[in-house]
Structure 1
Amino acid sequence: MAVGSAVLVALLCAPAPKPLSALSRRAVVGLAPSLGAAALLGTGLPAAPAARAAVAPPADLIPTLGIGAWAWGDTLFWGYDAKRDGELQELFDYCLASGFKFFDTAEVYGLGRSETLLGQFCRANPAAADVRIATKFAALPWRTKASDVLDAAQRSTERLGRPIDLYQIHFPNAWANEAYWDGLGQCVDRGLVRAAGVSNYGSSALRACSASLASRGVRLVSNQIQLSLLYPYAQTNGLLSTCNELGVKVLAYSPIALGLLAGKYTKEKLPSGPRQLIAGKYLDDPQFGELIRTMGAVGAGHGGASPAQVAIAWCIAKGTCPIPGARTLAQAKSNLAAASIRLTAAEVSELDTAAAAVTPVLAPGSSPFAKKDVVTGQIMFDS
């Protein structure tokens, strides 16, 4: 999480945490060691679900483009306001009517609020029977057992009011990773979830997890990682190649780099909240402006597509399924329109060249995710 990780580091260095209700996913993850499990995810762990037959994931589980629901409930980064839930329902209904039915969420997005909203929206729309929802298990330091994954999945299904189509380990921990893979496999074996995935895993960890699941007859379906023109490390360090080799689909989060690649920010108009610092650094780099102009020129050749749409189309051209977030109907319409853009190899190369000239504000080393499992020595995160 290049852009987000710097903000998280800043949060970790803050003199005092904000109230829990105001914390975003990344703040919760960063502050997790100082929080009690009950304060974060509730008490009264349910019993593991009864065994059921595993169901093979559908071949078309992951589409060309999905919708990220991090902002649906997050107050710190995205200013969530429950008074606008009606607009989120309208956004959800529009996505379904347009044929886009893959949504990504997590238990820590709004501390469960995002999952709850998705469940409500599904129940309110008769066309939601074939909606597919991906959610995530937060690998917090005190969660060290396979049963923790099962318990968390059960709570997520309760908030969603439906089974989980794709369940992902949200990020690596500094220990207990093998226990998580066991729990993930058990979730599939018991029929609690339809498919297994991970998020923020590097090449080595991906291979180890894939092998662990395969030993019990479960396929690793996906790896959700940050990928954008401003954070292209997965394509240069071999991670994308590893995913392709293993048949693991990449879900590309933050394809618009938290709005930076929309080309709308200026020194006079910066994003609110923790993103200001990152945006200001990019705006100081003339090569960033050149990248935005290049994106605009490429978009002009595709019916006047916006820089944000070109950024999403670039991720699609790299063979990934981008999952841009949307808080308004206008954003959803713009994002979904990007699915029809097919960049040429020459255009992708032009964008790659322009992006490579931008001075990186952040690199993988600044991420707060565990780089290594301290017990096994397994390298967990590389980009």
Structure 2
Amino acid sequence: MDNILDKKWAYRELGQTGIGLSPLGLGSWQFSRGKGAAIGVWGMLNQAKVNEIVLNSLAGGINWFDTAEAYGMGQSEESLAEALKQAGIRPGECFIATKWQPTMRSASSLKTLLPIREGFLSPYKVDLYQVHFPGLFASIDAQMDNMAALYKEGRIRAIGVSNFNASQMRIAQKRLNKHGLSLASNQVKYNLLDRQIETNGVLETARELGISLIAYSPLAMGVLSGKYQRNPEYLEMVPFIRRKTIRRALEKSMPVIAKLSEISARYNADIAQVALAWVIYGQGDTVFALAGASTPVQARENLRALDIKLTAAEIAELNSVSGS
């Protein structure tokens, strides 16, 4: 994907893996075909639309995609794989991240269940294998031991976690270090309305240990796009599970939206694009972002964020009106 003529940004290293990824990746929870964890959160996207969303992302330089077992119990993975095939992408030409669901499972199931993930993603392999959340049944040490075994067998290219706090990141890193390996990433919520990683030790620990952070919900479920402020009636169209959370976010979003509007005018951009740019560039190269897209147009619009290099003063302005 490096031959994009108008690309003004650079790929950056994922953790200490030597793997170069676009600062923005495509999240694919919305590809779940209305099943699993998508029930009441996402509607149904037909495969033709998914194909176009993925194609637009690839055309703009996106070279990695994030999915999970929980996203429709394989439906998102399968839909993503079909879209990549339709786009003419061969195995190894893009980077795929997926997640293992730890609920009531032993750590050994990381190994036994990987073939199922590979089956849904076929012919593509799992590049970044992530623990979806810490869980209670299997210890972090045991999880990392099994991840290390998969890495050494050549089954995966990188090891990641999601929703881990700072101390859990340290435990995972220490265990992997015993295998001569390093944790590549931790996927966490991060946006202008939720900056907890800046104060709870996660961002600081990531920098110290050389771990990348992957921000999910970088637009706060659409609140930072301004669409609900412009059209309050849209809130009633949101699946009921998300509605209460969005209402809370809207209450504290007004000064942020105002500042985003002011800055976006300088770049002839949308406020959502500036909000994404703040996530992927505001902390140097430490934070990647996952932007979902439910329409091909939205996929194209997200790409504009990659070219918006906010100044230190603009980042400070946004920081001053937002908070944890």
Task: Give the TM-score band, short-chain normalised.
Answer: 0.7 to 0.9
Aligned 8 A contact 1:315 1:322 in 2: yes
Alignment match of 2:279 (pick from 297, 309, 315): 315
Aligned 8 A contact 1:87 1:328 in 2: yes
The 3 A distance-change label for structure 1 pair 77 and 295 is farther
Q: Where do residues 291-370 of structure 1 align in structure 2 (5 Å cutoff)? A: 291-303=256-268, 305-316=269-280, 317-319=282-284, 320-356=287-323
- Number of matched residues? 296
Structure 2: give runs of 5+ residues left out of the alignment. 1-14
If you compute each CA radius of gyration, which structure gives the higher value, 1 or 2? 1
Paired with 1:279 and 1:311, the residues of 2 have a C-alpha distance of 16
* Paired residue type of 1:70: W
Alignment match of 1:272 (pick from 238, 246, 251): 238
Alignment match of 1:236 (pick from 187, 199, 220): 199
Aligned match of 1:124:
86
* Paired residue type of 2:32: G
| SS of the residue 2:303 aligns to | helix
Aligned match of 1:258:
221
Alignment match of 1:197 (pick from 160, 173, 176): 160
Paired with 1:291 and 1:126, the residues of 2 have a C-alpha distance of 40
Alignment match of 2:73 (pick from 111, 117, 122): 111
* Paired residue type of 2:224: L
Aligned match of 1:180:
143
After TM superposition, give the deviation of residue 74 of structure 1 in Å: 5.2
* Paired residue type of 1:313: A
Paired with 1:128 and 1:97, the residues of 2 have a C-alpha distance of 15
After TM superposition, give the deviation of residue 238 of structure 1 in Å: 2.1
| SS of the residue 2:322 aligns to | helix
Paired with 1:349 and 1:68, the residues of 2 have a C-alpha distance of 28
Aligned 8 A contact 2:22 2:61 in 1: no
Whether 2:168 is the aligned partner of 1:168: answer no
The 3 A distance-change label for structure 1 pair 133 and 57 is farther
Paired with 1:165 and 1:61, the residues of 2 have a C-alpha distance of 12
The percent of aligned pairs where both chains have the same amino acid is 34
| SS of the residue 2:188 aligns to | strand
Aligned match of 1:81:
44
The 3 A distance-change label for structure 1 pair 128 and 312 is farther
After TM superposition, give the deviation of residue 256 of structure 1 in Å: 0.3
Aligned match of 1:148:
109
Aligned 8 A contact 1:57 1:194 in 2: no
Paired with 1:257 and 1:128, the residues of 2 have a C-alpha distance of 33
* Larger proportion of strand: 2
The more displaced of 59-68 and 326-335 is: 59-68
Length-normalised TM-score, structure 1:
0.74
After TM superposition, give the deviation of residue 122 of structure 1 in Å: 2.2
Aligned match of 2:27:
68
After TM superposition, give the deviation of residue 62 of structure 1 in Å: 3.2
Paired with 1:57 and 1:160, the residues of 2 have a C-alpha distance of 25
Cα distance per residue 1:313-333 (max 9 Å; x no partner): 111122311011111111101
Paired with 1:254 and 1:282, the residues of 2 have a C-alpha distance of 12
The 3 A distance-change label for structure 1 pair 128 and 254 is farther
After TM superposition, give the deviation of residue 276 of structure 1 in Å: 1.6
Cα distance per residue 1:248-298 (max 9 Å; x no partner): 011111000111111110443315112222222343x3x521210111111
Aligned 8 A contact 2:47 2:83 in 1: no
* Paired residue type of 1:219: S
* Paired residue type of 1:314: W
Paired with 1:179 and 1:268, the residues of 2 have a C-alpha distance of 48
Paired with 1:164 and 1:312, the residues of 2 have a C-alpha distance of 26
Paired with 2:43 and 2:238, the residues of 1 have a C-alpha distance of 13
The 3 A distance-change label for structure 1 pair 282 and 58 is closer
Cα distance per residue 1:91-136 (max 9 Å; x no partner): 1112122221210000110111011112212222224441110001
* Paired residue type of 2:293: A
Paired with 2:49 and 2:72, the residues of 1 have a C-alpha distance of 17
Kindly report the root-mean-square deviation, in angstroms, between the aligned alpha carbons of the 2 structures.
1.8
* Paired residue type of 1:152: L
Paired with 1:110 and 1:335, the residues of 2 have a C-alpha distance of 24
The 3 A distance-change label for structure 1 pair 128 and 340 is farther
After TM superposition, give the deviation of residue 221 of structure 1 in Å: 0.7
* Paired residue type of 1:218: L
Structure 1: give runs of 5+ residues left out of the alignment. 1-55, 361-383
The 3 A distance-change label for structure 1 pair 265 and 248 is same
Length-normalised TM-score, structure 2:
0.86
Cα distance per residue 1:146-172 (max 9 Å; x no partner): x20012222111110122111111100
* Paired residue type of 1:165: D
| SS of the residue 1:208 aligns to | helix
Paired with 1:326 and 1:65, the residues of 2 have a C-alpha distance of 12
